[in-house]
């Protein structure tokens, strides 16, 4: 039987890794995890195997499972891929009405106006918007690739969310993209996406260094 990705133990371990409650390099012992989540060993083992297939966890012979440390080169490649996917998707929207897409990208304010970037927005809310953006822009096959890149790189992003301006920058980017798409200003939407990812890629060496400080 295929393991269900909505299994509570899988979801809990994944969230702990994404939010650095389990930092990079942390050992993942089956019995303590099972006890912590009031579970038997089998669901925990299955969850760790699934997370290993998703490149979030790694298995090291004679040591067991541990949270995978993401190399800088791989991080850069994921961001370059996400940049390319967004550019291709926005190119494909040429001549298509995009108002519905902008409306769907973020919640509407009570007065009917699109929401602006919230400097106090929680990292989890920003991450949810990133995931929702892919589901709106991409077909299911491409979205699966995008969501995997988001999943693999999320622990690195989360490590930098301790700096308030990082989450705020992402929130501003998504709010601007929403406005451009709602107005049908695709050239500006594409420019905003490319500029954002270019800025992120340039900053990745510093971001990765912050992430590496958490390695056990």
pLDDT tens for 162-195 read: 777 777 888 888 888 888 877 878 888 889 889 9
* pLDDT confidence of residue 162: 75
Q: Are 174 and 133 in contact (CB under 8 A)?
A: yes
Q: Dump pLDDT digits (tens) for 8-52.
A: 999 999 999 988 889 999 999 999 999 999 999 999 999 999 999
Proportion of the chain above pLDDT 70, given as a percent: 84
Name residue 57's beta-bridge partners: 67
How is the chain split into domains, by residue range?
8-67, 72-212
Residue 104: which pLDDT band, with cuts at 50, 70 and 90? low
Mutual angle of helices 164-182 and 123-137, in 10-degree steps: 30
Q: What angle do CA 46, 52, 58 make, to 5 degrees?
A: 120
Q: Dump pLDDT digits (tens) for 109-152.
A: 333 344 454 555 677 888 888 888 888 888 899 999 999 999 99
Q: Which CATH class is domain 8-67?
A: mainly alpha
Q: Does the pTM exceed 0.85?
A: no
For residues 92 and 5, which has the higher predicted lDDT (pLDDT)? 92
Numbers of helices and strands, H then E, in the chain: 9, 2
* pLDDT confidence of residue 112: 39
Q: How far apart are CA 33 and CA 115, in angstroms?
A: 40
Q: What is the DSSP-derived secondary structure letter of residue 62?
A: T
* pLDDT confidence of residue 58: 96
* pLDDT confidence of residue 105: 57
> What is the rounded average pLDDT for all residues in the chain?
83
């Amino acid at each position: 039987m295929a393991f269900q990705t909505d299994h509570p133990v899988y979801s809990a371990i994944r969230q702990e890794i994404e939010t650095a409650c389990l930092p990079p390099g942390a050992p993942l012992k089956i019995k303590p995890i099972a006890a912590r989540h009031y579970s038997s060993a089998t669901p925990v083992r299955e969850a760790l195997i699934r997370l290993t297939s998703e490149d979030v966890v790694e298995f090291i012979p004679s040591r067991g499972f541990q949270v995978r440390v993401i190399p800088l080169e791989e991080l850069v490649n994921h961001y370059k891929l996400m940049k390319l996917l967004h550019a291709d998707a926005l190119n494909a929207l040429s001549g298509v009405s995009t108002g519905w897409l902008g409306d769907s990208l973020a919640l509407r304010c009570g007065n009917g106006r699109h929401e602006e970037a919230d400097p106090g927005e929680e990292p989890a809310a920003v991450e949810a918007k990133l995931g929702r953006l892919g589901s709106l822009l991409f077909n299911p096959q491409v979205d699966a690739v995008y969501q995997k890149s988001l999943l693999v790189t999320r622990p690195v992003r989360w490590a930098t969310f301790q700096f308030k301006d990082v989450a705020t920058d992402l929130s501003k980017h998504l709010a601007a993209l929403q406005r451009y798409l709602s107005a049908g200003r695709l050239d500006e939407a594409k420019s905003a996406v490319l500029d954002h990812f270019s800025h992120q890629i340039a900053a990745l060496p510093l971001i990765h260094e912050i992430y590496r400080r958490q390695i056990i």
